[in-house]
Amino acid sequence: MCDGTEFMGKTFRDLVRDLGIVHANPKNTNVKACYAENAIMRIKIRLEKLFTLSGGYSWVPELQTVIDGLNATYMNSIGTSPEKVTWKNAQRIWNRLYGTLKSRVASYKVGDTVRVLIENTPLSKGTRAKWTEEVFKVIKVVEYDIPVYILSDLRGSELDGIWYEEEMIPYTNVNNSTEIDKVIRRKRNGFH
């Protein structure tokens, strides 16, 4: 599993800063690059077919043929094949994928307290979302088309990474942070 640390080195950070790119690294692996992952999956499927047909694993000479075939394949998500995407239809395709460009208003403000989604592991069980017991504070709202948040613990130590609204739930009972997990026995008639 890749945690994106190859993009956190000083050389890369200097490069994106020099290019005027705001670089953020989400720490939660539930945040996915779905279109890139879909393309990688399609390439792997085509290569597996090639391996089955050829009876070998020589893929480098055939890679360009695989890529050309994928670029010529109609994709429902964009409503055309990738090779037919031009600057003239790029905005229409963007709107089809992401909707029209409307900035979302931030749901949280600086000072709000939240719990964050616990990262799922490949062997996680259950269908319920898992939230941290620890409570965090929003210390900065970064306004993009989709707002992201910088958090700190309640002692004021900033957490590494950024969070999306979908990864947080509001927490309003900061003063009463202890919860009863299980009642072992109840008191009856003044005795245990």
Per-residue pLDDT tens digits for 127-140: 555 788 899 999 99
79 pLDDT tier (thresholds 50, 70, 90): very high
Crossing angle for the helix pair 63-71 and 34-54, nearest 10 degrees?
A: 130
Residue 34 sits at the vertex; the CA angle it makes with 135 and 2, to the nearest 5 degrees, is 65
Mean pLDDT, range 38-46, rounded to an integer: 88
Mean pLDDT taken over the chain: 81
Q: What are phi and psi of 92, to 5 degrees?
A: -60, -40
Residue found by looking up tokens 């945690």 in the block: 3
Question: Around Cβ 12, how many Cβ atoms within 10 Å?
Answer: 12
Q: What are 129-181's pLDDT values in tens digits?
A: 578 889 999 999 988 778 889 999 999 999 988 888 888 999 987 665 555 56
Q: Count CA atoms closer than 13 A to 37's CA, side-chain side.
A: 7
Q: Give the pLDDT mean for 54-60.
A: 88
Name the strands in the sheet holding 148-153, side by side, starting at the edge strand that comes first in the sequence.
Answer: 163-164, 148-153, 136-142, 113-116, 168-170
pLDDT the model gives residue 1: 47
Q: Which residue has the higher pLDDT, 181 or 52?
A: 52
Q: Which residue has the tokens 């085509």?
A: 46
Please report the pLDDT score of residue 88 as a whole number: 95
pTM: 0.48
Distances (CA, A) of 23 to 7, 20, 116, 141, 152: 9, 9, 21, 15, 19
User: pLDDT by residue (tens digit) across 86-131?
Assistant: 999 998 998 888 776 666 788 999 999 999 988 766 555 555 557 8
CA distance 116 to 169: 6
The stretch 18-45 carries a mean pLDDT of 76
Ordered by start, the domain boundaries in the chain are 5-99, 112-173
74 has a pLDDT exceeding 60: yes
CB-count exposure of residue 147 (10 Å: 0-12, 13-18, 19+): middle
